[in-house]
Amino acid sequence: MRLSFRAAVSLLFFVNGMTIGSWAPKLPTLMARLQISESVAGLIVLCLGAGSMCIMPVFGAMVARRGSARAVGMAAWLSAPLLLVISVAPGIWTVAAAVFLFGGFLGGMDVAMNANAVAVERVRSRAIMSSCHGFWSMGAFVGAAGGGMAIQHFGELAHGAIVLAIFALVLVIALPALVQDAPADDAPRAPLRLPRSPLPYLLGVMALTAMIPEGAILDWAAVHLRQDMGSSLAVAGWGFAGCAATMAVMRFLGDGIRQRLGAVTTMRLSAVIAMAGLALAGLAGSAGVAIAGFALAGIGIANMVPIAFSAAGNMPGLAAGMGLSVVTMMGYSGILLAPGLIGWLAERIGLGPIYVGLALLLIVPLALSRLARSADFDAG
């Protein structure tokens, strides 16, 4: 039986999140295998972000010229084997190169997935963005929680092979069922220009500051629990897993919450809850309390980015997709680039104070929350 458009794109969100989540417990393993410090590990994480920033625009242009279905297929197949490549790479330079491509092609897949989800929304005339991100968070939970246990029981190489097998199976099932949104061959090609209005860039700042804490939890929660609190590798994987689990639940509820409260109020409540969770994780004296803090932060972070994406996609006066492209690029630069700097800072001041500082950073989206009103269809 052929999948529906929504089910197909949701599966892609799931497997992308699963692969990113599988990266979280791998970083402490890489640090031990390569015998590197937090600052050097931070440079490897920076390679992940640099790859995304270099390769995401290529797939953004492909979406505009060829449609999201073709772009997501190419990016997905190129990214599928890279976690396994990271697992077998023998030295720091080969690991860094593999991580660069890992971040780049998964980032390209992410841009194309979000564009395909917008295409499904147009076909169905219903919002699905929050639930798609819910599937991403569900996949991230599976990858982070299962990844730590798989590495501990079966080893790093077997873990990479398992992720590759699941990834490939999902692509075979989902890619043929995507919305085919390629532009018509005879359609005029409008020049690809950045918006002149400041509003998409302010929404990009909102997404950026919302995604920096998510990236800090993804890349460094396991290290914080493992090294600062002496947790086992299996327990350390639950730092990001706890965050991803609550994010998944709240994202599945997010469309209904936004419908009832409105995008602006939802954004404000989300920012306050995320601030409380990050502060709790940073000040925690035990692994259990820290994991609870990361889980609370996930409740708050969950709908901040989908709201920013929806606001950009529904912004009046902009060509379709242009606002979303700007906000996506700016937002993902936070989740991908900032954790590298965090590694450098962690070696000097520790991860606990950093998480407290990230709680204060969320004052920015709280202050800009009025811009989220275009996420409500009636306001748009």
Q: Transcribe 263-306 into DSSP letters.
A: HHHHHHHHHHHHHHHHHHHHH-SSHHHHHHHHHHHHHHHTTHHH
pLDDT category, 205, cuts 50, 70, 90? very high
Average pLDDT over residues 294-317: 85
Q: How far apart are CA 83 and CA 147, in angstroms?
A: 12
The confidence band for 313, taking pLDDT boundaries of 50, 70 and 90, is low
Mean pLDDT of the chain: 84
Taking only the tens place, the pLDDT of each residue in 76-85 is 999 999 999 9
275, 359 in Cβ contact below 8 A? yes
Residue of higher predicted confidence among 195 and 250: 250
pLDDT of amino acid 336:
65
The CA distance from 376 to 380, in Å, is 6
Cα 207 to its chain centre, rounded Å, is 11
pLDDT at res. 224: 86
Q: Is the pLDDT of residue 377 over 60?
A: no
- By mean pLDDT, which of 124-128, 131-135, 207-211, 250-254 is the weakest? 124-128
Structure tokens given for 274: 């995320």
Residue with the larger pLDDT of the pair 318 and 291? 291
In this prediction, residues 284-313 reach a mean pLDDT of 89
CB atoms within 10 A of CB 315: 22
**Residue 338 confidence (pLDDT) above 90:** no
Q: Is the pLDDT of residue 73 over 80?
A: yes
| CATH classification number, 5-180+198-375, choose in 1.20.120.1200, 2.60.40.10, 1.10.490.10, 1.20.1250.20 | 1.20.1250.20
pLDDT band at 189 (very low <50, low <70, confident <90, very high): low
Q: What does the pLDDT average to over 50-62?
A: 81
The pTM of the full predicted model, rounded to 2 decimals, is 0.75
Residue 380 binned pLDDT confidence (cut-offs 50, 70, 90): very low
Residues 6+ apart with CB under 8 A from 226: 28, 232, 233, 236
Read off the pLDDT of residues 266-288 as tens digits, 9 standing for 90 and up.
999 999 999 999 999 999 988 89
Quick one: angle between helices 26-34 and 129-154, nearest 10?
Answer: 40
DSSP designation for 371: G
Band (320; pLDDT cuts 50, 70, 90)? very low
More confident position, 368 or 329: 368
Taking only the tens place, the pLDDT of each residue in 150-174 is 888 888 888 889 999 999 999 999 9
Average of per-residue pLDDT across 185-208? 71
Look at the block and give the residue holding tokens 């409540």. Answer: 269
Whether residue 58 has pLDDT greater than 90:
no
> Above 60 in pLDDT, residue 332?
yes
Closest by alpha carbon to 335, among 98, 111, 66, 70? 111
pLDDT at position 184: 44
Q: Using pLDDT thresholds of 50, 70 and 90, give the confidence band for residue 310.
A: confident
- Judged against a pLDDT cut of 50, whether residue 188 lies above it is answered with no
- Is the Cβ–Cβ distance between 69 and 163 less than 8 Å? no
Residue 13 binned pLDDT confidence (cut-offs 50, 70, 90):
very high
Token reading at 194: 């950045």
Counting residues of the chain whose pLDDT is more than 90, the rounded percentage is 30
Confidence tier at 65 by pLDDT (50, 70, 90):
confident
Q: Say whether pLDDT at 314 is over 80.
A: no
| Displacement of CA 240 from its chain's centroid (Å) | 12
